[in-house]
Structure 1
Amino acid sequence: MEKRWVYKQEASEEVVTSLAESLKLSKTLASILCQRGICTFDEARTFFRPSLDHLHDPFLMKDMHFAVNRLTEALHLSEKIMVYGDYDVDGTTSVALMYGFLRNFTHQIEFYIPDRYKEGYGVSTDGINYAAEQGVGLIISLDCGIKSADKVAYANSLGIDFIICDHHLPDNDIPPAVAVLDPKQIDCPYPYKELSGCGVGFKLLQAFCLQNGVELEQLYSYLDLVVVSIASDIVPITGENRVLAYYGLQLLNGPQPMRPGIDALKELAGITSEIDINSIVFGFSPRINAAGRMGDAKNSVRMLLAQTKEDAFRMADIINESNKERRSKDSNITKEALQMIEEDDFLRNAHSTVLYKENWHKGVIGIVASRCIEKYYRPTIILTHSNGKASGSARSVHGFNVHSAIESCSDLLDQYGGHMYAAGLTLPIENIPAFRERFEQFVANSITDEQKCPQIEIDAGIQLSQITRNFFGIIKQMEPFGPGNMRPVFVSECVYDTGSLRVVGDSHLKLRLTQDGYAAFDAIAFGFGDLYHRISKGIPFDVCYTIEENIYRGNITLQLSIKDIRIK
Structure 2
Amino acid sequence: MTGHRARQWKVRPRAPEAEQRLIEAGTDPLLARLYAARGIEDPGQLERRASALERPDSLLGMEGAVAVLAGAIERGETVCIVGDFDCDGATSTALSVAALRAMGARATYVIPDRFRFGYGLTPGIVAEAAELLAPDVLVTVDNGISSRDGVAAAHQRGMRVVVTDHHLPPAALPPADAIVNPNQPGCPFPAKSSAGVGVVFYVMAALRARLREDAWFAARGLEEPNLNEVLDLVAVGTVADVVPLERNNRILVHQGLERIRAGKARPGIRALIEVAGREPGHLRATDLGFVVGPRLNAAGRLEDMSLGIRCLLAEDYREARELAAELDALNQQRRSLEADMHDDAVEALADDPALAERHGVCLFREDWHQGVVGLVASRIKERLHRPVIAFAPGDGGLLKGSGRSVAGVHIRDVLERVATTHEGLLSRFGGHAMAAGLSLDPVHLDAFGDAFDRAVRELADPEALTPRLETDGELGPEELNLRKAELLESGGPWGTGFPAPLFQGRFRVGEVRVVGHNHLKMWLFPEGGDYTVEAIHFRGAPEGRAPELEEVELAYRLEVNTFRGRRNVQLVVEECRPAGSGL
TM norm. shorter chain > 0.5? yes
Q: CA deviation at 1:468?
A: 4.6
Q: Do the aligned partners of 2:477 and 2:528 also contact (CA within 8 Å) in 1? A: no
Is residue 2:575 matched to residue 1:564? yes
1:181-210 CA distance string (max 9 Å, x none): 111122112232221111111111111222
1:271 paired to 2:278:
yes
State the SS of the aligned residue for 1:225. helix
Query: Which residue of structure 2 aligns with residue 339 of structure 1?
Result: 347
Task: Name the structure 1 match of 2:35.
Answer: 33
**Aligned pair in 2 of structure 1 residues 296, 515: CA closer, same or farther (>3 Å)?**
same
Q: Quick check: 1:98 aligned with 2:105?
A: no
Pairs within 5 Å for 1:61-80: 61-80=59-78
Alignment counterpart, residue 124 of structure 2, candidates 114, 123, 126: 126
2:306: which partner in 1? 298
1:17 to 1:76, Cα distance in 2 relative to 1, 3 A: closer
- Higher mean alpha-carbon deviation, 450-459 vs 120-129, is at 450-459
What's the offset of the Cα at 1:301?
A: 0.9
User: What is the aligned counterpart of 2:561 among 523, 542, 550?
Assistant: 550
2:444 to 428, 431, 435: 431
Q: Is the 1:513–1:520 contact (alpha carbons within 8 Å) kept by the matching residues of 2?
A: yes
AA partner of residue 525 (structure 1): H
Matching of residues 488-503 of structure 1 within 5 Å: 488-492=501-505, 494-497=506-509, 499-503=510-514
Deviation of residue 421 (structure 1)?
A: 2.5
Kindly state the Cα deviation for residue 24 of structure 1 after the two structures are TM-superposed.
Answer: 6.1
> Partners in 1 of 2:409 and 2:137 — Cα distance?
41
CA distance in 1, matches of 2:343, 2:269: 32
Deviates more, 1:441-450 or 1:423-432: 441-450
User: Which residue of structure 2 aligns with residue 513 of structure 1?
Assistant: 525
Q: TM-score, normalised by structure 1?
A: 0.91
Shift of 1:86: 0.8
**Do the aligned partners of residues 53 and 334 (structure 1) sit closer, same or farther apart at CA in structure 2, a change above 3 Å counting?**
same
Aligned to 1:16: 19
Whichever residue aligns with residue 263 of structure 1, its letter is: R
Q: Which amino acid aligns with 2:142?
A: D
Q: 2:146 corresponds to which residue? A: 147
Q: Report the Cα distance in structure 1 between the residues aligned to 2:234 and 2:459, rounded to whole angstroms.
A: 38
Within 5 Å, which residues of 2 pair with 1:454-469? Answer: 454-469=467-482
Once the two structures are TM-superposed, the CA of residue 553 in structure 1 deviates from its matched residue by 4.2
Residue identity opposite 1:284 in structure 2: V
Letter in 2 for 1:542: E
Shift of 1:224: 1.0
Q: 1:284 aligns with which of 279, 292, 295?
A: 292
SS of the residue aligned with 1:171?
A: coil
Aligned partners of 1:448 and 1:15: how far apart in 2? 28
RMSD between aligned residues: 2.5
Q: Deviations over 1:57-90 (max 9, x none)?
A: 2122112122222211111110111111111111
Distance 2:303 2:139 in 1: 23
Residues 102-158 of structure 1: CA distance to partner in whole angstroms, max 9, x if unpaired?
Answer: 113446321111110111111011222234344321111111111112321332232
2:274 and 2:228 mapped to 1: Cα distance? 24
Separation (CA, whole Å) in 2 of partners of 1:558 and 1:9: 27
Task: Name the residue aligned to 2:315.
Answer: 307
Cα distance per residue 1:39-61 (max 9 Å; x no partner): 34x42xx62x5211112221221
Contact 1:402 1:419 in 2 (8 A): yes
Quote the sequence identity (%): 32
Shift of 1:334: 1.8
Report the AA paired with residue 103 of structure 1.
Answer: R
C-alpha distance 447-128 of structure 1, shift in aligned 2 (>3 A): closer
Q: 1:203 to 1:525 in 2, by over 3 A?
A: same
Distance (whole Å) between structure 2 residues aligned to residue 255 and residue 348 of structure 1:
47
Is the Cα contact below 8 Å between 1:509 and 1:529 reproduced in 2? no
Q: Is the Cα–Cα contact under 8 Å of residues 513 and 522 in structure 1 kept in the other structure?
A: no
How far 1:180 moved relative to its partner? 0.8
Per the alignment, in what secondary structure is the counterpart of residue 409 of structure 1?
Answer: helix
The answer on whether the counterparts of 1:509 and 1:532 sit within 8 Å (CA) in structure 2 is no
Q: How does 1:241-390 map to 2 (within 5 A)?
A: 241-256=249-264, 258-272=265-279, 274-347=282-355, 349-386=357-394, 387-390=396-399
Distance 2:19 2:102 in 1: 50
User: SS in structure 2 opposite 1:500?
Assistant: strand
Runs of 5+ unmatched residues, structure 1: none
Change in CA separation of 1:417 and 1:344 when aligned onto 2, cut-off 3 Å: same
> What amino acid does structure 2 have at the position aligned with 1:262?
I
Q: Could you say which residue in structure 2 is the equivalent of 1:113? A: 111
Residue 510 (structure 1) shift: 1.2
The verdict on how the C-alpha distance between 1:252 and 1:431 changes in structure 2, with shifts beyond 3 A counting, is same
Q: Tell whether the 8 Å contact from 1:397 to 1:454 is kept in structure 2 after alignment.
A: no
- For 2:471 and 2:503, locate their aligned partners in 1 and report how far apart those are by CA, in whole Å: 6
Whole-Å Cα distance in 2 between the matches of residues 447 and 70 of structure 1? Answer: 43
**Contact between 1:495 and 1:516, CA under 8 Å: does it hold in 2?**
no
Contact kept? 1:504, 1:510, Cα under 8 Å: no
Whole-angstrom distance in 1 between the partners of 2:537 and 2:522 = 7
Q: Which amino acid in structure 2 is aligned with residue 307 of structure 1? A: E
> Mind listing any 5+ residue stretches in structure 2 that lack a counterpart?
218-222
The amino acid that maps onto 2:522 is K
- The structural deviation recorded for 1:351 is 4.4
- Equivalent residue number for residue 8 of structure 2: 4
In structure 1, which of residues 40, 59, 67 is the aligned counterpart of residue 57 of structure 2?
A: 59
State the distance in 1 between where 2:287 and 2:241 align: 14
Aligned residues: 556
Deviations for 1:304-359, whole angstroms, at most 9, x for unmatched residues? Answer: 11121232233323323322322222122222222222223443554443222223
